[in-house]
Amino acid sequence: MQSEDHLILASRTASGKTEAAFLPVLSRVDFNEPGVLVLYISPLIALINDQFFRVEELCGYLDVPVTKWHGEANRTLKENLIKNPHGVVLITPESIEAMLVNRAYVAKQLFSNLKFIVIDEIHAFLGSDRGTQLQSLLYRLQTLNKTHARIIGLSATIGDFNPAKQLIGSIESTTVLRDNTAKPIDSEFKYFKKESAAIPLDLLKDLYLNVCNNKVLIFPNSRGLAEEIAVKLLKISQKVNGHPYYFSHHSSVDKELREYIEQFAKTNKRFPFTIACTSTLELGIDIGSVDKVVQIDATYSIASLIQRIGRSGRRENETSNLSLYATNEWSLLQSIACMTLYQGGFVEPVTFIERPYDILLHQAMALVRQLSECTPDELVQSLSENGAFKNIKVGEIKEIVQYLTQTDLFELIGGKLIIGVEGEKVTNTKDFYSVFMTDPVYKVRSGDKPVGEIPLMSYQALVGQNIFLAARIWNIVDVDYRAKKITVIPAKDGERPLFDGLGADVHPKVREQMLKLLVNNEPMPYISEDAAEAIRQLKDEFKGFEITDLLVDRPLKVKHTEMNWYTFQGSKVNRSIVFLFRAAGIESQFNDLHSCFIFPIKNLHLIIECGIKIFDTIDNHLETEITTNPAAMDFSKYGSLLPLKYQILLLKEKQFDFCTAMDFLTNVQVVEKLHFP
């Protein structure tokens, strides 16, 4: 605190980062000055509600008011803050956006004298559209400020701090304070082969014995799987007269139910419990100390795995305990690769989006709404000075602003831009303040009690159908399609709803480590006998391949009717190779978990050459993809509003990595072994 630098505090979960930031901040700020002086920004409303009590307790000694500001916060308290701007405010990026867009005068009144901005769980924003939006919002807040506020980012797991420094605003003037103290991790890896869509019964029985007498968080990789696990563990517990405290916790469970579960876990000292959850409990919501974390199949990243493990062993001198259950031998291998890389000190660096044209478009519309009107030159200047868009050329910004006028998103009247007819349709919804996609949903109720929500897919919402939701089984008795409401009653058996959502991308280093584990005698963490046998059989499949260079040597299995070529590349590179081969008219199937292409018997070298040739005309093929495939731009909420030229550039950067793919295809050494099953 002796300098004026921005700061990043990085240390493991539950190490006291909030207090470490707030104690010196509260000591340094003179709260007799007018306005909100400290702004706390969080990725989750639930995290704000949780941290509110901790911050309020710290501020209570100083008689400093603390106010929550988000869509679910008390309106009267927010209005009181406007009348008398004072103290500390806890807020989400979306609420900042809504305030700037709809009540710019209030934002100026509240935030023109900010001294500190604290960003909690900053790693959750990095490399995402939300992170770019937050970086832009920080710039817009600073323009309201008489003196630039200092920014403090709080983080747990980061492999490279430069993206976090860029988000805050400056690599040069940001200091990292890092506590490298790590909790010891006690891990076990188990394997139960999945033969059907349902979770193996043997896995559930073993899992029940593992969790029934402990306080446990279970992380499956989907909301539907979390429901299936919670329901089936509860059914086992009922059969053997065990405890009833089995819950599911994810974004589709009703908010009040989620808060009840969090409070129960935090205050309950006596009973064991199990919560099957998604990333909703991966971040720093305080639910007290749990005995163990269970991961079902591989996480998509090392950072996510370590964040989840850190939820256990939170007390001083406790060990973090992980049980990983794999239902597929490749998922088991990926899990082991993640753990061994972490033990070697590697965590994936964040991919920084260099030219976020879609978020630039969103922020351009937000600025025009905020200002009511402005000249094109004023808008272009404001966007070009915003660090979030520093890699986008001024000429490109002008071209996009002009296109928005041509498409009636803007209207130019008397030399001033205002929101156009089409722009009103985009900006006049509460959905405008966020840059992430949200699916339409049915609200599910039992009597007068909300249960949660399921995706808006008519084939799922059928009267008489039984579903899992909120760790219980329900029978659908009525579907109101117009009001998007489902009425349910308790039932005895059912199936998990199919929640949409794609998995995150896997880093190339993880796939390279998987290959290393297969072809070398690498040390591994503790794995059960069944897991060891699954790995042994997988290693046997790759015996005889002369893999000497892990960067370029890649195995090819030639069978009677097909060839299996394993790239062991990251998801974005694999996706790029799939696109190149498809554009070249090459018939193939691809499995990203196995990192494997399946071809009919052909000359692989000729196939690779055909893929390489496509690169010179890649933009033409991407244009065809965008114009013929309605889902091509679904990864971006606002990307489809851009000129076609910028849609292509955005698609290339966010979804693909053609340069690395070309480098790989150009240098790869195909290592062949005849394989006749």
- For 343-375, the pLDDT digits (tens) are 888 988 888 889 999 999 999 999 999 999 999
Burial code (b: 16+ CB inside 10 Å, e: under 16) for 109-145 equals bbbbbbbbbbbbbbbbbbbbbbbbbbbbbbbbbbebb
pLDDT at 467 over 60: yes
**What digits encode the pLDDT tens for the residues 269-302?**
889 999 999 887 877 677 777 899 999 999 989 9
**What digits encode the pLDDT tens for the residues 403-422?**
999 999 999 999 999 999 99
Give me the pLDDT at residue 287, please.
78
Do the domain assignments include residue 207? Answer: yes
Q: Of 473, 490, 507, which residue sits at a domain end?
A: 490
Do the domain assignments include residue 261? Answer: yes
The pTM of this model reads 0.91
**What digits encode the pLDDT tens for the residues 59-99?**
888 889 999 998 878 888 989 999 999 999 999 999 999 99
CATH number, residue 269: 3.40.50.300
Give me the pLDDT at residue 637, please.
95
- Report the alpha-carbon distance of residue 159 to residue 162 in Å, rounded: 9
CB distance 568 to 597 below 8 Å: no
Do the domain assignments include residue 139? Answer: yes
**What digits encode the pLDDT tens for the residues 18-66?**
889 999 999 899 999 999 999 999 998 878 888 888 888 888 888 899 9
Helix H or strand E segment including 349: none
- Report the alpha-carbon distance of residue 641 to residue 502 in Å, rounded: 23
The Cβ of residue 603 has, within 10 Å, a number of other Cβ atoms equal to 10
pLDDT at 646 over 70: yes
Mean pLDDT within 186-211: 93
Do the domain assignments include residue 466? Answer: yes
> Are 163 and 206 in the same domain?
no
Average pLDDT, the chain: 90
Query: How many separate domains does the chain show?
Result: 4
Domain of residue 574, residue span: 544-674
Give me the pLDDT at residue 502, please.
56
The first and second tokens of residue 260, run together, are: 């009840």
> Are 326 and 473 in the same domain?
no
Give me the pLDDT at residue 92, please.
94
pLDDT at 644 over 90: yes
pLDDT at 499 over 80: no
Q: Of 343, 376, 409, which residue sits at a domain end?
A: 343
> Are 18 and 142 in the same domain?
yes
Q: Of 466, 490, 514, which residue sits at a domain end?
A: 490
> Are 260 and 141 in the same domain?
no
Taking alpha carbons only, the member of 206, 281, 228, 289 closest to residue 251 is 281
Backbone angles phi, psi at 674, to 5 degrees: -70, 135
pLDDT at 183 over 80: no
Give me the pLDDT at residue 458, please.
45
> Are 85 and 167 in the same domain?
yes
Mean pLDDT within 217-246: 94
- Banded model confidence at residue 492, pLDDT cuts 50, 70, 90: confident
Share of the chain above pLDDT 90, in %: 64
> Are 146 and 36 in the same domain?
yes
> Are 29 and 142 in the same domain?
yes
> Are 319 and 262 in the same domain?
yes
> Are 147 and 212 in the same domain?
no
Contacts of 599 (CB under 8 A, 6+ apart): 562, 563, 565, 586, 587, 588, 607
> Are 30 and 123 in the same domain?
yes
Do the domain assignments include residue 112? Answer: yes
CB distance 56 to 88 below 8 Å: no
Report which of residues 159 and 125 the model is more confident about. Answer: 125
Burial code (b: 16+ CB inside 10 Å, e: under 16) for 53-76 equals eebbebbeeeebbbbbbbeebeee
> Are 456 and 548 in the same domain?
no
Do the domain assignments include residue 595? Answer: yes
Do the domain assignments include residue 320? Answer: yes
Interaxial angle between packed helices 104-111 and 129-144, expressed in degrees from 0 to 180 and rounded to the nearest 10: 70
> Are 25 and 157 in the same domain?
yes
CB distance 119 to 41 below 8 Å: yes
239, exposed or middle or buried, with CB in 10 Å at 0-12, 13-18, 19+?
exposed
Do the domain assignments include residue 209? Answer: yes
